[in-house]
Amino acid sequence: MKALLIDDHALFRAGLESLLERRGIEIVASVGSGEDAIRLVRKTTPDVILLDLRMPEISGLDVLKTLSDQKPGIPVVMLTTSSEEQDLAAALRKGARGYLMKDMEPDELVIALRDIVAGNTIVAPALTGVLADLVKNGNRQQRKETEQPFTELTPREREILGHLAEGQSNKVIARHLDISDGTVKLHVKAILRKLGVHSRVEAAVMAVEHGIRRVPQNPT
């Protein structure tokens, strides 16, 4: 097996290189920057690429995306200290074939690399719980980002957004809520700002996509 190592910490890189070579893995190159790795991968044909997540200048995830696009047949493995769910999710989404921890036992690391080269996707055993939660519930960070704009709306703004989702004009909304057109206009401006959109149509589409509807009032 031939491997390309990418890590900005020279001491760790040297230690890993020695560790892998003692276990029969040939190191075709060992570099400390994403730019060097991207240039090298055009000239070399490793069986596997080991990539650090936290990299200066170009992040490990950006390097991963570039390598996956340029050489889709070569598996890229993130070798990191991060056990964060969002990092695992982002790496797998960008094409990583493995997500391994730097504190793994050397023999476990080698076994995982051989499995990855054989065509499997491997996540460090310590992260199986995180992966299971990710598969079951989706990315917690993405869910938070999706829900966050709506949580910032006041009850009145949320109510008006429900009217916008039905395509109602400011005048119609004002009549429904017994407030002035000007007040509705101010609320709509606040809604657009909080949702990060530029038009009431975009806000209405977001509301429909997320199931926000006007609650009909009981007739008196």
Segment 6-65, tens digit of pLDDT: 999 999 999 999 999 999 999 999 999 988 888 888 888 899 999 999 887 788 999 998
Q: Is the dihedral of CA 72, 73, 79, 84 positive or negative?
A: positive
pTM score above 0.85: no
* CA pair distance 5, 31, nearest whole angstrom: 6
Mean pLDDT of 93-99: 89
Amino acid, single-letter form, for residue 60: G
For 206, other C-beta atoms within 10 Å of its C-beta total 20
End-to-end CA distance of the chain: 77
Say how far apart CA 190 and CA 176 lie, in whole Å: 19
Residue 134 has pLDDT above 80, yes or no: no
Structure tokens at 207: 């509301």
Position 48 scores a pLDDT of 96
Residues 165, 208: contact at Cβ < 8 Å? yes
Residues 2-137: name the CATH superfamily.
Answer: Response regulator (3.40.50.2300)
User: What's the alpha-carbon Rg for the chain, to the nearest Å?
Assistant: 25
Choose the CATH number for 152-209 among 3.20.20.10, 1.10.10.10, 1.20.140.10, 3.30.300.10: 1.10.10.10
* Average pLDDT for the chain: 85
Domain ranges of the chain: 2-137, 152-209
Q: pLDDT at position 205, please?
A: 79
pLDDT at residue 125 greater than cutoff 80 = yes
pLDDT higher than threshold 70 for residue 152: yes
pLDDT band at residue 218, thresholds of 50, 70 and 90?
A: very low
Band (135; pLDDT cuts 50, 70, 90):
low
